[in-house]
Amino acid sequence: MNVTPHLPKNILTIRARLAEAPCWIEEEQLLYWVDIYNHRVHQFNPATNAHQFFDVGEVVGCIAPAGTHRLIMAQRRRLAFLDTRSGAIAPILTIEDTPPDTRFNDGKCDAAGRFWFGLKGNNKPTGCLYRYDSNGSLQVLETGLTIPNGLGWSPDWSTFYFTDSFLKTIYAYDFDLESGSLANRRVFIDLTAETFEPDGLTIDREGCIWSAMWNGWCIIRFDPDGKEMMRVKMPVVRPTSCTFGDRDLTTLYITTASVGLSEAEIQNSFYSGDLFSLPTSTSGLPAHHFGG
């Protein structure tokens, strides 16, 4: 196991409660992410350090690009579009029959333009994994989940990766891009022996998984066989997710959280909730838009 010799750089002091779901939009050269409990979608331009956020009125679990100057959002129980010029919100649908104490969580779009997102079961097996297609259909792909989290696809689109944080497990599935179907679920990375939990993730062009470790002070890079390759030490206890950005997609952007920390813990993890970046020797994969 290799450990990076230096810490990621703190590039934006925002003290988010629960920053998550970072997404780099190549066409705009902008980074977007959410602060779930502060009901915000953030936008950051690393070339100018310009930063703004949109108050979306309620919990927002994740976002993905959805055309020019538009994002698709999974909020508490609804999907909606956000116009990133005006801040206008256009509701898409609401799922009324979700169990109590649940909300939508992490999500991404596949190369066919379908939006995948999870329903968080609040540490009970009442969560699930949804796929929303551009024709308006909604499919349930998995049930019995607790905290559905970091997800992504291998560079050749043959494998889908999906995290259940409460179970400390990252699963792999056979994936068919044409149909959007999953098969042959198996445990890919078992972290049950650790004191921390896998949270959001991203995948690089070499097929390696970078997973943020909640309560773990680190990001771990795993090879395509699930073997740990490297730990990126973090100056905060709760990294939440990561994505590659900049023109060559070689910079790793990392979101973090301060929610639930005591005053003493915040003193030991002073920059919790801020945005970090790390130059890497690899490159990431572009984010896909909803609707293709």
- pLDDT at position 50 is 98
Residue 159: beta bridge partners?
174
Based on the structure, what is the number of domains in the chain?
A: 1
Instruction: Tell whether 287 is covered by a domain.
Output: no
Q: Are β-strands 228-233 and 2-3 bridged in parallel, bridged antiparallel, or unpaired?
A: parallel
Domain extent at residue 186: 2-279
* 199 catalytic per annotation: yes
* 213 strand-pairing partners: 198, 218
CB neighbours (10 Å) of residue 178? 7
> Which amino acid does the sequence have at 254?
I
The burial of 183, by beta-carbon neighbours within 10 Å (0-12 exposed, 13-18 middle, 19 or more buried), is given as: exposed
Domain contains 289: no
pLDDT digits (tens, 9 = 90+) for 91-129: 999 998 888 889 999 999 999 999 999 999 877 899 999
- Weakly modelled stretches of the chain, pLDDT under 70: 1-6
Instruction: Supply the pLDDT for residue 121.
Output: 84
Residue range 244-266, pLDDT digits in tens: 999 999 999 999 999 999 988 88
User: Tell me, what's the pLDDT at 292?
Assistant: 78
pLDDT at 216: 97
Contacts (Cβ under 8 Å, ≥6 apart) of 242: 22, 200, 201, 202, 210, 212, 219, 252, 253, 254, 255
| CB count in 10 Å sphere of residue 135 | 7
Task: Give dist(CA 188, CA 285) in Å, integer.
Answer: 20
Cα–Cα distance for residue pair 79/90, rounded to 1 Å: 9
Helix (H, G, I), strand (E, B) or coil at 264: helix
Q: State residue 6's pLDDT score.
A: 65
CA distance linking residue 102 with residue 128, whole number of Å: 10
Q: Looking only at Cα atoms, what is the longest distance across the chain?
A: 51
Distance CA 64, CA 73 (A): 7
Q: Do 33 and 20 meet the contact criterion of CB atoms below 8 Å apart?
A: yes
Rounded CA separation 168/190 (Å): 7
Q: Are the beta carbons of 204 and 249 closer than 8 angstroms?
A: no
Contact 34, 63 (CB under 8 A): yes
In a domain, 288, yes or no: no
CATH number for 192: 2.120.10.30
Residue 284, domain member (yes or no)? no
Is 286 inside any structural domain? no
Please count the residues of the chain.
292
Among 106, 110, 164, 199, which one carries the catalytic annotation? 199
Identify the residue whose tokens are 């909730």. Answer: 273
Domain-embedded: residue 83: yes
Residue 262 inside a domain? The answer is yes
Cβ atoms of 200 and 21 within 8 Å: the answer is: yes
Residue 98 is predicted with a pLDDT of 87
**Phi, psi values for residue 265, rounded to 5°:** -65, -35
Q: Which helix (H) or strand (E) holds 72?
A: strand 70-75
- By DSSP bridging, strand 181-190 and strand 197-203 are unpaired
Alpha helices by DSSP H, listed for the chain, are 263-268
292 within some domain: no
DSSP summary character for residue 165 = G
Q: Collapsing DSSP states into helix, strand and coil, what is residue 64? A: strand
Residues in a beta bridge with 90? 81
